[in-house]
């Protein structure tokens, strides 16, 4: 009966727990803390998760999918398997559920007990719908999601625990797909989120995609005409170039994509120039968070870098320049969020070591309803009830009155967002309340919004004259209904995950097959023979030197790969 | 329940102790289990901080500013002298026995009151304030983190470090990159050229400039934003654009800037209506909820009323546009100060009386200018009749006066202007309105000083010639 913390990322996911010595990460079957958030189907119809699936993105592009966090909260379904006999249709919640299931298995293996609950981190700027989708994903994986925690808040918890008292710091969280900024104030063991802002569609992947386009343009490759497999190859190449540019000034690359040899070099300056628009987009949430916290940039004591993409030197330089401070990244930016989620589990279970620590968070967006505020009855505007960056839990109310004689119903549309016009915001749902017929303005309702610590909104409407109360907890159409959830949970339970103990071999074979797909002629023959030999050894149960053979196989592959992507 | 009671705290203006009390209370309840109590507590805290900020801090921030500005430490005696009269004049003192509720009601009604205990606690607090909320933007703290290891992964990471991690090759280089590549002056120049009469109204030029400053530190980029806004307020409002040359190009720039900075109509209106320094204060208030703090180039300071102290901008505003030459001179006085070197000035030499009369630009002084010319003519004719020596002497005198104006005129104007402006700024007895009134006369003061000098010279010459005539 354990509760774990989970960082469900766009590119990588991690699982952690609170031990007596503080937060600890849990390694997966490959002894790595990072499990790529990639899901695939193998030839037997089993589900592959993590490194294995990631390797198969190139060899089996129609059987594999990554980056699904960006579609969380939408109805977008993915078909895995296509025409083959093992074809599945998955919603983003279900894909996330597979990753969660794999993480759960890792945790149970490591802790030696059943894992029932989890605290999952989500980007602070995730809206209500996306949050609910995340909770549903947990349910589908058989985990009770005790609460959600905002990613920058989690990072702050991990960072703040060791930090000296009395400081105001900014968390700069640039992940694979999302960007969040939070400003925290720490004093007397109280960690208070002052403001949060972000961009749900800005992350390291956008930097990479720009690079993909440019690489294709440089080598006169038509992106549209590329097959899915070749496209994934190109994305992989861009990923490598991007990482290489973090380490040195110039990256040279050479790769074979659809029989065209891509060759050339890419300088860091060029990459920086290419991405200047993206970098400027990073400014906006920072400015907003600082303004919302009624602070000035010089009041920020420290800037903490979180998320893998914050490793890019240009990002650090930009942050350094903006704040005139060296940004801190002494905690591993990939792991800090998961560590923070573990701290939150400690707080939740009231661990003795954390008794004195209190954390308060904010609601990152404005919640309100649409109403008429002037004489023009067609002119609907948003009336905010809970303003953004209000500390949660919070309960606020406002009164609204009828605008027409003998009006018998008041219709309340509940919106989330910062824009004045209702249509520019996200509609969370609506509520209809019957009122007695009377002259315009005589009848009214008291609308109370209650926003709890997990980001769930409850709306309570009280008719002033009759004291009749209508309550509604919001659930969007894009989310699954309870019956649906139940049905899908059963369906998912029927699907087998690839056995955990075979993961290591599966990864190696997937990797070898990827290398096979990327190479030509004699090298192909060599790789094929390696794969076949290795498979022979695996099926031949009698071989006791499996570990040794595997080691050798893995070394051969590494050598091959180094020759292929000779980056210098 | 009273906010102070809820926090379990005596009334105070010290934000730190309010926070401490809040933290203490917060630990006795669980926000997730008792949301109602938590909300109450939080609201009490916010209210307390609000009271602490707007009843007390206001003047103190001003004095802190001044201390920083002067760079000299005021003794505690002086500090008391500063604070007490302000507390007395601005805030009528009330009896200590006034009920809390009464005090709050009074505050709500915009009738600030204070009792003696506050004055006392404040004096103590103002020194602590420096530590807690004071924000001297010294560079020292920013250099400290250099000691932190630039270590990306913990040692127990089982996966080998793949070397994809960015390791700044040298920290020094990193710091060099942190330094902004544009200065405040360059920003002013750029904006002037982008807005000026020779501007091509090219959106690309603007984009290039905005991109450049947006990559800089918040200090620089905020400064640039304010400067652009204020320049727009003067030149580029939609109303003014209706009939202007290259209207579409200008509108495009306006829309581009609006989009880039996310300005609202309000932001631009503020800048269009108010003088730029005041609008900056207002914008600061709207955006940061604070007033009376210097920002940007660091040369704007605010007086006790939250208005900026006088700067070059005021010359423009209050002396009229044709007198922009004063502003130019003021700018010169800032850069050269009293050490300004005398330099040759042709108009000063050739037309010294006319030049001065034009610059002085005042009824009386124009008359005095006429008197000066008459005096010279009289002197000249008076001298030519009796002897040759006298006429040569008179001519030399006129020439030498012109030479003196030509050489020293500019310096005298600038230095007098600079010193009297400084005196005015440092004068604490005058109100803001009075200062503004005086400013106009100071603007001409430099020329007046020179004029007095010349009239004096002419007078001496006249007297000398009369004595000479009498002796002959």
- Alpha helical stretches, state H, B116-158: 116-132, 140-143
pLDDT of B66 > 70? The answer is: no
Give the Cα separation of A395 and A448 in Å (integer): 7
Indicate which residue of A51, A94, A151, A244 is catalytic.
A151
Give the model's pLDDT for residue A33.
92
Give the model's pLDDT for residue B397.
67
A272 is catalytic: no
Give the Cα separation of B172 and B176 in Å (integer): 6
Quote ipTM for the complex. Answer: 0.77
Cβ atoms of A39 and A49 closer than 8 Å = yes
% of chain B exceeding 90 in pLDDT: 0
Q: Name the closest residue on chain A to residue B159, using Cα atoms.
A: A32
Q: How many CB pairs under 8 A join A and B?
A: 152
* A182: confidence class by pLDDT, cuts 50, 70, 90: very high
Pairing assessment for the beta strands A302-306 and A167-174 based on DSSP bridges: parallel
Could you tell me if A128 and A11 lie in one domain?
yes
Give the Cα separation of B378 and B370 in Å (integer): 12
> Looking at residues A192-205, what average pLDDT do you find?
89
Encode pLDDT of A278-303 as tens digits: 888 898 889 888 888 888 888 888 89
Q: Does residue A329 sit at the B interface (CB-CB below 8 Å)?
A: yes
What is the maximum alpha-carbon separation in chain B? 113
Q: Which of A387, A410, A386, A389 is nearest to A397 (CA)?
A: A386
Give the model's pLDDT for residue A34.
92
Could you tell me if A153 and A10 lie in one domain?
yes
Could you tell me if A467 and A508 lie in one domain?
no
- Alpha helical stretches, state H, B299-387: 312-319, 324-336, 346-350, 352-360, 363-384
Of B149, B164, B290, the CB nearest to A246: B164
Could you tell me if A449 and A507 lie in one domain?
no
Give the Cα separation of A381 and A372 in Å (integer): 6
Between positions 456 and 515 of A, the ones with CB within 8 A of B are: none
- Which phi and psi (to 5°) does residue A226 adopt? -70, 145
To the nearest whole Å, the CA of A195 is away from the closest chain B CA by: 13
Expressed as residue numbers, the domain containing A66 is: 2-166+331-358
Indicate the helix (H) or strand (E) that contains A305.
strand A302-306
Give the Cα separation of B253 and B57 in Å (integer): 41
Q: Pick the more confident residue, A274 or A473.
A: A274
- Residue A466 maps to which CATH number? 2.60.34.10
CB contact under 8 A, A393 and B20: no
% of chain A exceeding 90 in pLDDT: 18
What is the tally of structural domains in chain A?
A: 3
CB contact under 8 A, A298 and B22: no
Could you tell me if A62 and A159 lie in one domain?
yes
What is the average pLDDT score of chain B? 60
Residue A416 within a domain:
yes
- Select from A305, A326, A392 the residue whose CB has the most chain B CBs within 10 Å, as the one to mutate to test that interface: A326
Encode pLDDT of B327-370 as tens digits: 555 555 555 444 556 667 676 677 666 566 555 555 555 555 66
Beta pairing partners, A360: A192
Residue A122 exposure: Cα atoms within 13 Å on the Cβ side: 29
Of A34, A296, A320, the CB nearest to B174: A320
Global pTM exceeds 0.90: no
* B197: confidence class by pLDDT, cuts 50, 70, 90: low
To the nearest whole Å, the CA of A405 is away from the closest chain B CA by: 36
Domain boundary at A448, A480, A512, which?
A480
Q: Which of A113, A111, A7 is nearest to A343 (CA)?
A: A7
Give the Cα separation of A121 and A127 in Å (integer): 13
Indicate which residue of A42, A173, A244, A513 is catalytic.
A173
Q: Name the closest residue on chain A to residue B290, using Cα atoms.
A: A294
CB contacts of B222 in chain A (<8 Å) are 297
Cβ atoms of B349 and B402 closer than 8 Å = yes
Give the Cα separation of A383 and A367 in Å (integer): 9
> Looking at residues B41-65, what average pLDDT do you find?
66
CB contact under 8 A, B174 and A326: yes
Give the model's pLDDT for residue A518.
72
To the nearest whole Å, the CA of B157 is away from the closest chain A CA by: 8
Most confident option among A42-46, A544-548, B92-96, B462-466: A42-46
CB contact under 8 A, B20 and A188: yes
What is the average pLDDT score of chain A? 84
Give the Cα separation of A106 and A104 in Å (integer): 5
Can you state the angle between helices B363-384 and B388-426, rounded to 10 degrees? 160
Q: Pick the more confident residue, A427 or B295.
A: A427
Q: Does residue B150 sit at the A interface (CB-CB below 8 Å)?
A: yes
Cβ atoms of A469 and A417 closer than 8 Å = no
* B100: confidence class by pLDDT, cuts 50, 70, 90: very low
Give the Cα separation of A62 and A172 in Å (integer): 35
Residue with tokens 């902004």: B180
CB contact under 8 A, B158 and A33: yes
When mean pLDDT is compared across A114-118, A184-188, A350-354, A515-519, the lowest value belongs to: A515-519
pLDDT of A543 > 70? The answer is: no
Residue A492 within a domain:
no
Indicate which residue of A7, A42, A146, A518 is catalytic.
A7
Between positions 295 and 314 of A, the ones with CB within 8 A of B are: 295-299, 301-302, 311-313
Give the CA distances from residue B75 to residues A244, B67, B78, B79, B80, in Å, rounded to whole numbers and listed in that order. 58, 11, 5, 6, 9
> Looking at residues A544-565, what average pLDDT do you find?
76
- Alpha helical stretches, state H, B27-115: 35-52, 58-70, 76-90, 100-108
Cβ atoms of A174 and A279 closer than 8 Å = no
Residue A233 within a domain:
no
Could you tell me if A416 and A462 lie in one domain?
yes
Q: Pick the more confident residue, B114 or A527.
A: A527
Between positions 33 and 52 of A, the ones with CB within 8 A of B are: 33-34
Could you tell me if A341 and A454 lie in one domain?
no
Domain boundary at A323, A358, A393, which?
A358
Give the model's pLDDT for residue B276.
58
Report cis status (omega within 30 of 0) of the bond before A297.
Answer: no
Residue A278 within a domain:
no
% of chain A exceeding 70 in pLDDT: 95
Residue A51 within a domain:
yes
Residue A191 within a domain:
no
Q: Pick the more confident residue, A268 or A559.
A: A268
- Select from A11, A188, A568 the residue whose CB has the most chain B CBs within 10 Å, as the one to mutate to test that interface: A188
Residue A159 within a domain:
yes
CB contacts of A243 in chain B (<8 Å) are 162, 164
pLDDT of A337 > 80? The answer is: yes
Cβ atoms of A254 and A234 closer than 8 Å = no
To the nearest whole Å, the CA of A308 is away from the closest chain B CA by: 9
pLDDT of B221 > 50? The answer is: yes
Could you tell me if A63 and A126 lie in one domain?
yes
Encode pLDDT of B206-218 as tens digits: 888 888 888 788 8
A424 is catalytic: no
> Looking at residues B285-302, what average pLDDT do you find?
42
Between positions 273 and 312 of B, the ones with CB within 8 A of A are: 287-290, 293, 295
- Residue A36 maps to which CATH number? 3.30.420.40
> Looking at residues B283-289, what average pLDDT do you find?
53
Residue A374 exposure: Cα atoms within 13 Å on the Cβ side: 5
Between positions 417 and 446 of B, the ones with CB within 8 A of A are: none
Give the model's pLDDT for residue B308.
44
To the nearest whole Å, the CA of A123 is away from the closest chain B CA by: 20
Of B24, B153, B290, the CB nearest to A332: B153
Could you tell me if A372 and A348 lie in one domain?
no
Give the Cα separation of A75 and A196 in Å (integer): 27
Between positions 10 and 29 of B, the ones with CB within 8 A of A are: 19-20, 22-24, 26-27
CB contact under 8 A, A322 and B218: yes
Q: Does residue B265 sit at the A interface (CB-CB below 8 Å)?
A: no
Give the Cα separation of A52 and A54 in Å (integer): 5
CA B380 to chain centre: 50
Residue B470 exposure: Cα atoms within 13 Å on the Cβ side: 6
Cβ atoms of A23 and A65 closer than 8 Å = no
Please tell me what DSSP assigns to residue B110.
Answer: T
Residue with tokens 């894992």: A115
When mean pLDDT is compared across A107-121, A133-147, A148-162, B151-165, the lowest value belongs to: B151-165
pLDDT of B444 > 60? The answer is: no
CB contact under 8 A, A32 and B154: no
Give the Cα separation of A239 and B287 in Å (integer): 39
Q: Does residue A323 sit at the B interface (CB-CB below 8 Å)?
A: yes
Encode pLDDT of A384-396 as tens digits: 899 888 888 889 9
> Looking at residues B384-391, what average pLDDT do you find?
59
To the nearest whole Å, the CA of B346 is away from the closest chain A CA by: 47
Q: Does residue A284 sit at the B interface (CB-CB below 8 Å)?
A: yes
Residue A101 within a domain:
yes
CB contact under 8 A, A302 and B145: yes
Could you tell me if A19 and A103 lie in one domain?
yes
Cβ atoms of B174 and B208 closer than 8 Å = no
Between positions 42 and 81 of B, the ones with CB within 8 A of A are: 42
Give the model's pLDDT for residue A131.
86
Give the model's pLDDT for residue A180.
92
> Looking at residues B62-66, what average pLDDT do you find?
45
pLDDT of B383 > 50? The answer is: yes
Could you tell me if A8 and A55 lie in one domain?
yes
Could you tell me if A349 and A389 lie in one domain?
no
A298 is catalytic: no
CB contact under 8 A, B158 and A356: no
CB contact under 8 A, B219 and A297: yes
CB contacts of A33 in chain B (<8 Å) are 157-159
When mean pLDDT is compared across A215-219, A237-241, A247-251, A525-529, the lowest value belongs to: A525-529
Residue A430 exposure: Cα atoms within 13 Å on the Cβ side: 10
Q: Does residue B264 sit at the A interface (CB-CB below 8 Å)?
A: no
To the nearest whole Å, the CA of A339 is away from the closest chain B CA by: 12
Residue A477, helix vs strand vs coil: coil
Of A34, A246, A358, the CB nearest to B26: A358
pLDDT of B107 > 70? The answer is: no
Q: Name the closest residue on chain B to residue A279, using Cα atoms.
A: B215
CB contacts of B148 in chain A (<8 Å) are 326, 328, 330
> Looking at residues A236-246, what average pLDDT do you find?
88
Give the Cα separation of B127 and A289 in Å (integer): 29
Residues in chain B, overall count = 472
């Amino acid at each position: 009966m354990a509760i774990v913390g989970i960082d469900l990322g766009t590119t990588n996911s991690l699982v952690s727990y609170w031990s007596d010595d503080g937060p600890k990460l849990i390694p997966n079957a490959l002894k790595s803390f990072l499990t790529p958030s990639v899901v695939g189907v193998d030839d037997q119809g089993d589900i592959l998760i993590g490194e294995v699936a990631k390797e198969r993105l190139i060899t089996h592009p129609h059987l594999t999918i990554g980056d699904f966090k960006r579609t969380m909260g939408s109805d977008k379904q993915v078909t895995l398997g296509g025409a083959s006999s093992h074809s599945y249709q998955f919603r983003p919640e279900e894909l996330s559920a597979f990753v969660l299931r794999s993480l759960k298995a890792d945790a149970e293996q490591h802790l030696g007990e059943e894992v029932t609950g989890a605290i999952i981190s989500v980007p602070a700027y995730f809206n209500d719908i996306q949050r609910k989708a995340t909770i549903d994903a947990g349910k589908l994986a058989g985990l009770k999601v005790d609460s959600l925690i905002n990613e920058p808040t989690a990072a702050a918890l991990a960072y703040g625990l060791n930090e000296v008292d009395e400081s105001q710091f900014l968390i700069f969280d640039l992940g694979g797909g999302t960007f969040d900024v939070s400003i925290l104030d720490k004093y007397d063991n109280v960690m208070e989120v002052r403001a949060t802002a972000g961009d749900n569609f800005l992350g390291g992947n956008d930097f990479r995609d720009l690079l993909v386009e440019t690489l294709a343009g440089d080598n006169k490759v038509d992106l549209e005409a590329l097959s899915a497999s070749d496209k994934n190859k190109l994305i992989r190449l861009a990923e490598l170039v991007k990482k290489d540019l973090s380490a040195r000034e110039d990256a040279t690359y050479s790769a074979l994509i659809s029989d065209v040899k891509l060759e050339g070099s890419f300088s860091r300056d060029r990459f920086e120039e290419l991405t200047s628009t993206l970098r400027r987009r990073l400014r906006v949430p920072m400015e907003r968070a600082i303004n919302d916290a009624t602070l000035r940039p010089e009041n920020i004591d420290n800037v903490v870098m979180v998320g893998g993409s914050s490793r890019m030197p240009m990002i650090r330089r930009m942050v350094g320049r903006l704040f005139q401070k060296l940004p801190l990244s002494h905690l591993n930016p990939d792991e800090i969020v998961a560590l923070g989620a573990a701290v939150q589990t400690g707080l939740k279970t009231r661990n003795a070591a954390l008794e004195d620590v209190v954390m308060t968070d904010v609601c990152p967006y404005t919640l309100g309803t649409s109403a008429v505020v002037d004489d023009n009855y067609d002119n609907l505007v948003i009336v905010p009830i809970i303003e953004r960056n209000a500390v949660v839990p919070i309960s606020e109310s406002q009164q609204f009155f009828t605008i027409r004689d003998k009006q018998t119903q008041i219709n309340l549309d509940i919106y989330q967002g910062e824009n004045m016009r209702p249509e520019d915001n996200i509609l969370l749902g609506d509520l209809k309340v019957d009122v007695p017929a009377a002259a315009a303005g005589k009848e009214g309702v008291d609308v109370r919004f209650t926003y709890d610590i997990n980001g769930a909104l409850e709306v309570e409407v009280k008719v002033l004259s009759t004291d009749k109360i209508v309550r509604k907890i919001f659930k969007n159409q894009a989310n699954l209904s309870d019956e649906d959830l139940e049905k899908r949970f059963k369906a998912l339970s029927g699907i087998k995950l690839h056995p955990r103990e075979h993961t290591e071999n599966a990864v190696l074979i997937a990797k070898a097959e990827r290398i096979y797909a990327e190479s030509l002629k004699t090298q192909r023959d060599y790789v094929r023979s390696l794969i076949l030999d290795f498979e022979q050894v695996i099926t031949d149960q009698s071989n006791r030197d499996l570990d040794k053979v595997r080691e050798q196989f893995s070394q051969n592959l590494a050598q091959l790969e180094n020759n292929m992507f000779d980056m210098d | 329940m009273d906010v102070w009671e809820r926090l379990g705290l005596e009334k105070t203006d010290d934000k730190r102790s309010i926070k401490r009390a809040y933290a203490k209370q917060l630990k006795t309840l669980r926000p997730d289990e008792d949301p109602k109590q938590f909300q109450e507590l939080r609201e009490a805290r916010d209210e307390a901080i609000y009271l602490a900020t707007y009843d007390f801090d206001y003047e103190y921030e001003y004095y802190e500013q001044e201390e920083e500005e002067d760079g000299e430490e005021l003794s505690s005696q002086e500090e008391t002298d500063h604070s007490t009269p302000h507390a007395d004049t601005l805030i009528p003192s009330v009896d200590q026995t006034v009920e809390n509720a009464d005090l709050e009601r009074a505050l709500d009604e915009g009738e600030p009151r204070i009792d003696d205990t506050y004055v006392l606690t404040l004096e103590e607090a103002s020194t602590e304030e420096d530590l807690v909320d004071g924000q001297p933007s010294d560079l020292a703290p920013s250099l400290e983190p250099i000691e932190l290891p630039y270590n990306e992964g913990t040692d127990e990471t089982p996966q080998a470090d793949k070397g994809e991690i960015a390791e700044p090759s040298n920290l020094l280089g990193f710091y060099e990159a942190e330094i902004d590549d544009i200065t405040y002056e360059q920003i002013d120049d750029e904006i002037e050229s982008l807005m000026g009469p020779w501007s091509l109204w090219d959106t690309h030029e603007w984009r290039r400039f905005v991109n450049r400053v947006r990559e800089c530190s918040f200090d620089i980029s905020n400064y640039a934003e304010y400067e652009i806004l204020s320049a727009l307020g003067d030149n580029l409002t939609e109303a003014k654009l209706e009939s202007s040359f290259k209207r579409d190009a200008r509108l495009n720039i306006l829309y581009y800037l609006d989009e880039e900075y996310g300005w609202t109509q309000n932001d631009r209106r503020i800048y269009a209506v108010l003088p730029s320094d005041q609008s900056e204060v207002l914008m600061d208030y709207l955006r940061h909820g604070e007033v009376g703090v210097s920002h940007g180039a660091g040369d704007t300071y605010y007086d006790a009323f939250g208005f900026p102290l006088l700067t070059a901008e005021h010359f423009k505003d209050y002396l009229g546009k044709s007198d922009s030459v004063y502003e130019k001179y003021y700018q010169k006085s800032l850069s050269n100060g009293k050490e300004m070197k005398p330099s040759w000035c042709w108009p000063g030499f050739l037309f010294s009386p006319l030049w001065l009369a034009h610059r002085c630009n005042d009824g009386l002084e124009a008359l005095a200018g006429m008197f000066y010319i008459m005096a010279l003519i009289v002197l000249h004719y008076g001298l030519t009749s009796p002897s040759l020596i006298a006429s040569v002497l008179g001519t030399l005198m006129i020439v030498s006066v012109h030479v003196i104006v030509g050489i020293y005129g500019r310096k005298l104007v600038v230095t007098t202007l600079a010193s009297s402006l400084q005196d005015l700024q440092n004068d604490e007895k005058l109100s803001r309105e009075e200062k503004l009134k005086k400013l106009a006369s100071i603007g001409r003061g430099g020329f007046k000083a020179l004029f007095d000098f010349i009239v004096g010279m002419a007078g001496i010459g006249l007297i000398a010639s009369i004595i000479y005539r009498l002796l002959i």
